[in-house]
Amino acid sequence: MSWSTLVSRTTAAPDPAARPGGSIRRMSRATHLGACPLDCPDTCTWQLTVEDGRAVALRGDRDHPFTRGALCGKVNRYLDAVNGPDRLTQPMVRTGPKGVGPVSYRPASWDEAVGRVAAGLRATIDRDGPGAILPYYFAGTMGHVQGWSMGPRLFAHLGSSRLQTTICTAAARAALHSVYGGSVGFEPESIVDARLIVLWGANLLSTNLHQWPFVQEARQRGAYVVTIDPLRTDTAARSDEHVAPLPGTDAALALGLMRQVLDAGGADRAWLAAHTVGWPELEARLGEWPVERAAAECGLDVEVVRRLGERIARTRPTAIRVGLGLQRHHGAGQAIRAICALPLVTGDFRYPGGGALCMTGGHHPVNEAAVVRPPDMPAPPARSVNMSRLAAVLTGEADPPVTSLVVFNANPAATAPDQTRVHAGLRRDDLFTVVLEQRWTDTCDFADVVLPATMQPEHLDLHSSYGHHYTTLNLPVTRAPGEALPNTEIFRRIAAALGLDHPRLRDSDEDLARQLLRDAPVSFEELRERTYARTTGVAVGSAPYADGAFPTPDGRARLLDPRLARHSVDPLVGYTPPVEAADPDLARRFPLVLIAPAGRFLMNSTFASLPWHAGRMGPPRVHLHPDDAAARGLADGDAVRVHNDRGSFLAAVAVDDATRLGLAFTYKAYWARLSPGRSTVNAVTAVRDTDLGGGPTFHDTRVEVEPAPAELLQVDRPQEAAAESSTA
């Protein structure tokens, strides 16, 4: 590996001159390598320039083999978030009603705040048992240390409810586990060798930017690129072909394509016989899936499906990059299974650049389970609670009820489905809520105690990636603002205040990183020297499953999986239709299907309050096909209320032929407290599980839009947000 001589290795501790009250008073300037912490498959290595303890410049690291230099637009402005005037710098305790905002809070010392947290948790334990405590966390940082170690460890030791972390990839994980034995697939850098690339429900230019140059390289070598997406995204527009199925019908499309491959003589029978189970059963089922049926189910022209099937049948290698957005429908498990089955039928895993890839996580040997539940630390049995059901859990579904909620690395008041009920649950008087945050979010509005957390330049973390094969170490190199502390340290303090004295609850961040790396082919020391390393044992450009050897017990991929019958899922690869989209009665009342994919300048709800990012996103909009807008007498910019039986949100109409007739879209993860009417798209999304994995169904939603008075779009922005904008 080559290194830029301009880049100094980072040290574990910040420059002494940077410490508040430090006695050395000289100006220091150094550039350090670190990792972008965001929930993005790319996990970029970055170069952070620090001057006198403060982060002053950020750029991509050109030497990184996958991310190769440029950061994305939103993270080019990451220092707005780090150095923003709105960073939380002190613990805050509630003095007024819930749901109002910072006016209901006063600053407190760490001792007082942590004392309150311990007392609140202790009251729940004494009254309702430890299972009535629910930790709620997700991928605000993808870091294993600040995300998935000390916090979950503390709650496991207490016997709190165990969080099923389903909000994003549960259906895909379950499906990948069923078919391939884990979250594995083709080697992402090998895509340059593909002759046909299918970007299936994946908007690379917004959400997996650094895969795109590899796709372009393949194209220069003659590859043809097809995007399968109900919307003409930028990625679709820049592909050679765009296929726009109805949302939630991907399994039907995959079955039709497999049938066409079979009819065209493109099935690799020898490879199927050697390396899969269930091919005879699937072949029989494909008899029921002529392209005409698939096309009708997907709302596509028969010739489009036939031609794509023929192209796949004759093109080796074909690489299918599977996005995460397509799994936010009820039939997601079957959809991902069927898509993953397609390259098994064609034998594509035989070739570098062939096969399917949804997530690379299953290749990385990071030892998370053993860090959360170390063998030498007691962890009583506990019930599981599905995070995607938070609205229901907080409003009656949980028995016994949840009476303490500890939120970190997540903003469920904005991002969880059925927002009206989420907010009602969070408002409960008998719920004690603690939020660890970097800035004041929607969820902070409902907290009893808000604790200020550090950001990436200020803490240690370890990142594997779900889009490539490198693991990156990030060391603290700047001083945190005010009294902000790393999540890990906050949990160590809470454990101590609770009187818990197990030594595992005192492990340092470096201890945790070493434990996480126990099974990895790279040591903490090596990473401290090199920042990142390839950690999966899969060579660049290789075909890891050319000879089968999938991580299933017998090494075979599964087209038939009898274990799924336990979950009432068809053991054979097949099709589960969406729920709301396919409901004719509901369609009469709510004629529009609504999806809410990722916005380019946000990262879920992270950045939604920052002036630059909010400015690039613009106000919430609902994009309607021109004929849908015309049928309702709506013009571009008109104010509408988007509603169904669960709730509503206000938005401006964007008349947009990037979508199909009957399909509306908006971008996910605006903040309610900064939105007109204080609600977002998640006011209309449902608590409903995917067929496999218990994931959410954000895109399986029906709505209607109706005109609203224009003045309702004027947001009464809370004071602190207004102050922030004026500094832009």
Ligand X SMILES: Nc1nc2c(c(=O)[nH]1)N[C@H]1C(S)=C(S)[C@@H](COP(=O)(O)OP(=O)(O)OC[C@H]3O[C@@H](n4cnc5c(=O)[nH]c(N)nc54)[C@H](O)[C@@H]3O)O[C@H]1N2
Binding interface with ligand X (CB under 6 A): 39-40, 74, 138-141, 146, 167-168, 200-203, 206-207, 228-231, 233, 245, 247-248, 250, 323-326, 328-329, 408-412, 414-415, 436-439, 441, 453, 487, 595-600, 602-606, 668-669, 681-682, 685, 698-699
Residue number, 272 or 642, with CB nearest to ligand X: 642
Could you list the beta-strand ranges (E) of 382-503.
384-386, 404-408, 432-437, 449-452, 461-463, 470-474
| Token digits of residue 200 | 């299936």
- Letter string b/e over residues 192-228, b meaning 16 or more CB atoms within 10 A of that residue's CB: bbbbbbbbbbbbbbbbbbbbebbbeebbeeebbbbbb
Q: Return the ∠ at Cα 98 (arms to 92 and 99), rounded to 5°.
A: 105
Q: Return the ∠ at Cα 486 (arms to 728 and 529), rounded to 5°.
A: 95
Neighbours of 400 (CB within 10 A): 12
Q: How far is the CB of 381 from ligand X (least distance, A)?
A: 26
Q: Which residue is nearest to Mo ion (CB)?
A: 168
By CB under 6 A, what part of segment 594-633 binds ligand SF4? 603
Residue 653: in which H helix or E strand, if any? Answer: strand 648-655
**Binder to ligand SF4 among 71, 295, 359, 385 (CB under 6 A)?**
71
**Binder to ligand SF4 among 42, 189, 193, 689 (CB under 6 A)?**
42
Residue number, 276 or 605, with CB nearest to ligand X: 605
72 binds ligand SF4 (CB under 6 A): yes
Q: Which does 478 bind (CB under 5 to 8 A by kind): ligand SF4, Mo ion, ligand X, none?
A: none
Site string (199-228) toward ligand SF4, x via CB under 6 A: ----------x-------------------
Q: What is the three-class DSSP state of 411?
A: coil
- Letter string b/e over residues 716-725, b meaning 16 or more CB atoms within 10 A of that residue's CB: eebebbeebe
669 binds ligand SF4 (CB under 6 A): no
Listing DSSP states for 282-333 in one string gives HHHHHTT--HHHHHHHHT--HHHHHHHHHHHHH-SSEEEEE-SGGGSSTTHH
Q: How far is the CB of 530 from ligand SF4 (least distance, A)?
A: 19
Residue number, 75 or 434, with CB nearest to ligand SF4: 75
Closest CA to 569 of 701, 690, 726, 716: 690
Q: Which does 323 bind (CB under 5 to 8 A by kind): ligand SF4, Mo ion, ligand X, none?
A: ligand X
Residue number, 228 or 664, with CB nearest to ligand X: 228
82 binds ligand SF4 (CB under 6 A): no
75 binds ligand SF4 (CB under 6 A): yes
The residue type at 227: T
Residues 375 and 393: their CA atoms lie apart, in Å, by 30
Residue number, 421 or 463, with CB nearest to ligand SF4: 463
The residue type at 418: D
Backbone conformation region of residue 48, classed left if phi is above 0, alpha if psi is from -120 to 50, else beta: beta
Q: How far is the CB of 357 from ligand SF4 (least distance, A)?
A: 17
38 binds ligand SF4 (CB under 6 A): yes
Residue number, 247 or 353, with CB nearest to Mo ion: 247
Residue number, 358 or 498, with CB nearest to ligand X: 358
**Contacts made by residues 626-633, CB under 8 angstroms, sequence distance 24+:** 626/655, 626/656, 626/657, 627/661, 628/592, 628/661, 628/662, 628/664, 629/653, 629/655, 632/705, 632/706, 632/707, 633/707
Q: How far is the CB of 456 from ligand X (least distance, A)?
A: 7
Q: How far is the CB of 603 from ligand SF4 (least distance, A)?
A: 6
Neighbours of 25 (CB within 10 A): 7
| Token digits of residue 535 | 């950690």
Q: What is the three-class DSSP state of 591?
A: coil
Q: Which does 159 bind (CB under 5 to 8 A by kind): Mo ion, ligand SF4, ligand X, none?
A: none
Residue number, 43 or 680, with CB nearest to ligand SF4: 43
Q: How many residues make contact with ligand SF4 (CB under 6 A)? A: 11
Q: How far is the CB of 37 from ligand SF4 (least distance, A)?
A: 8
> Measured between alpha carbons, how far apart are the two ends of the chain, in Å?
40
**Binder to ligand SF4 among 18, 33, 44, 304 (CB under 6 A)?**
44
Residue number, 73 or 555, with CB nearest to ligand X: 73
Q: How far is the CB of 711 from Mo ion (least distance, A)?
A: 35
Q: Which does 178 bind (CB under 5 to 8 A by kind): Mo ion, ligand X, ligand SF4, none?
A: none
Residue number, 311 or 350, with CB nearest to ligand X: 311
Q: How far is the CB of 31 from ligand SF4 (least distance, A)?
A: 17
Q: What is the signed CA dihedral for 504, 510, 515, 518, rounded to 10 degrees?
A: -160
- Letter string b/e over residues 300-333, b meaning 16 or more CB atoms within 10 A of that residue's CB: beeebbbebbbbbbebbbbbbbbbbbbbbbbbbb
Q: Which does 295 bind (CB under 5 to 8 A by kind): ligand SF4, ligand X, Mo ion, none?
A: none
Residue 240: DSSP 8-state:
S
Q: How far is the CB of 75 from Mo ion (least distance, A)?
A: 16
Q: Could you give the count of Cα atoms lying within 13 Å of 297 in the half-sphere of its Cβ?
A: 22
Q: How far is the CB of 608 from ligand SF4 (least distance, A)?
A: 15
Q: How far is the CB of 135 from ligand SF4 (least distance, A)?
A: 25
Residue number, 168 or 560, with CB nearest to Mo ion: 168
Which phi and psi angles does 409 have, rounded to 5°?
55, 30
Site string (277-306) toward ligand SF4, x via CB under 6 A: ------------------------------
Residue number, 39 or 691, with CB nearest to ligand X: 39
Q: Which does 229 bind (CB under 5 to 8 A by kind): ligand X, ligand SF4, Mo ion, none?
A: ligand X
Q: Which residue is nearest to ligand X (CB)?
A: 325
By CB under 6 A, what part of segment 390-429 binds ligand SF4? none
Q: Which does 699 bind (CB under 5 to 8 A by kind): Mo ion, ligand SF4, ligand X, none?
A: ligand X
50 binds ligand SF4 (CB under 6 A): no
168 binds Mo ion (CB under 5 A): yes
Q: How far is the CB of 331 from ligand X (least distance, A)?
A: 9
Residues 383 and 386: their CA atoms lie apart, in Å, by 10
Residue number, 498 or 595, with CB nearest to ligand X: 595
**133-137 vs 404-408, strand pairing mode:** parallel
Stretch that binds ligand SF4, among 34-42, 180-188, 310-318, 346-354 (CB under 6 A): 34-42
Residues 211 and 41: their CA atoms lie apart, in Å, by 9
- Letter string b/e over residues 671-706, b meaning 16 or more CB atoms within 10 A of that residue's CB: bbbbbbbbbbbbbbbbbbbbbbbbbbbbbbbbbbbe
Residues 574 and 363: their CA atoms lie apart, in Å, by 27
- CB proximity list for 300: less than 8 A, separation 6 or greater: 243, 244, 245, 253, 294
Residue number, 63 or 689, with CB nearest to ligand X: 689
497 binds Mo ion (CB under 5 A): no
Q: Which does 42 bind (CB under 5 to 8 A by kind): ligand SF4, ligand X, Mo ion, none?
A: ligand SF4
Give me the helices (H) in 591-718, please: 611-617, 626-631
What is the binding site for ligand SF4 (CB under 6 A)? 36, 38, 40, 42-44, 71-72, 75, 209, 603
What is the binding site for Mo ion (CB under 5 A)? 168
